[in-house]
Amino acid sequence: MSAEGTVGAALGGAAALLRDATRSPQLDAELLLAYVLKRRREELIAHREEALLSHAAHAFASLIRRRAEGVPLPYLTGVIEFYGRPFAVTPAVLIPRTETEAVAEEALRLLDTSAVLHPVVADIGTGSGVLAVTIAAEAPRARVVATDRSPAALAVARRNARRHRILRRITFIESDLLTEIPQELAPHCIVANLPYLPADELKRAGETLDTRGLTFEPPKALDGGPDGLFVIRRFFAQLRRLEPIRALLTSLILEYSPTQRRRILELAHDALPTFRPREFSPFVTSWTRTEQRRSGGLSP
């Protein structure tokens, strides 16, 4: 097999090509070459004088071209870390953000104090399944339901559940938000990261370096309508209408834009007037029921 330069030279050239495409050109180049060579990034840095074989160089160059076009790094490597675990991602699902880890953290805090022996947690709009899988893995007592309208997204979520060996602990349901959840799986706790990006903002996504990657993500996972609240309004409308779910529910954790907080609180109060909000982070609020429930529940 012939060689085409060294690891160091390939990294230097790639970083130069990515200078106008990402705020971290050197890091992105190193991560992509580590992916191609199936080695840790630290090993590459320590062996910059190593020869780079031609087939690896060609594969690396192809990935660098796509990254220069704006394709997000996780779509190129097919994996992203969330709450300390690796998760598969494809263009069929939204790329999980760091902010969403706060949803998992707050859910686990509430589950830790739950009076229910086996609380049911529903992840609405599960996407890649990072919330469902994380909660199932971190809270062994919990039963988890994960819904999504997209069969392709559910396939990715199942793949991640299988990867972390908890597929049997999660019930996956193709559903418009809450509508297809059977009564026997009515949740005590709901977690949701629903589309909340205003449509006009999404249309302008390609105009800046920081938002360019949004143009490669599934629009239905991002587009929240004119004010970003279209899907969230439908979610709360379903909560009001679906009495079996509302009756058992004791906790809700929702991610949204900080600019939407006032309206979100109004929607939540209309749908869940006996629930008390707690702002966990600028992007995440949880609500817990304040009235006593005979069936037990999740304590605030």
Are 209 and 232 part of one and the same domain? yes
Residue at 145 is within a domain: yes
Residue at 298 is within a domain: no
CATH number at residue 162: 3.40.50.150
- At residue 295 the predicted structure's pLDDT band, cuts being 50, 70 and 90, is very low
> Pairing between strand 275-281 and 284-289?
antiparallel
Q: What is the pTM of this model?
A: 0.93
pLDDT in tens, 111-127: 998 888 899 999 999 99
- At residue 208 the predicted structure's pLDDT band, cuts being 50, 70 and 90, is confident
Q: How many domains does the chain have?
A: 2
Are 94 and 229 part of one and the same domain? yes
Q: Which residues constitute the domain of residue 99?
A: 80-289
pLDDT at 153 exceeding the cut of 60: yes
By 3-state DSSP, what share of the chain in percent is helix, strand and coil, each rounded to 5?
A: 45, 20, 35
Are 61 and 93 part of one and the same domain? no
- pLDDT at position 136 is 98
Are 188 and 276 part of one and the same domain? yes
Are 57 and 175 part of one and the same domain? no
Structure tokens at 13: 């050239």
Residue at 75 is within a domain: no
DSSP string, 177-222: TTTT--GGG--SEEEE----B-HHHHHTGGGSTTTGGGGGS-GGGT
Are 97 and 231 part of one and the same domain? yes
In whole angstroms, what is the distance from residue 186 CA to residue 180 CA?
10
- Among the residues of 82-207, which ranges form H helices? 101-112, 130-138, 151-163, 199-203
In whole angstroms, what is the distance from residue 196 CA to residue 225 CA?
8
- pLDDT at position 4 is 67
Contact 201, 263 (CB under 8 A): no
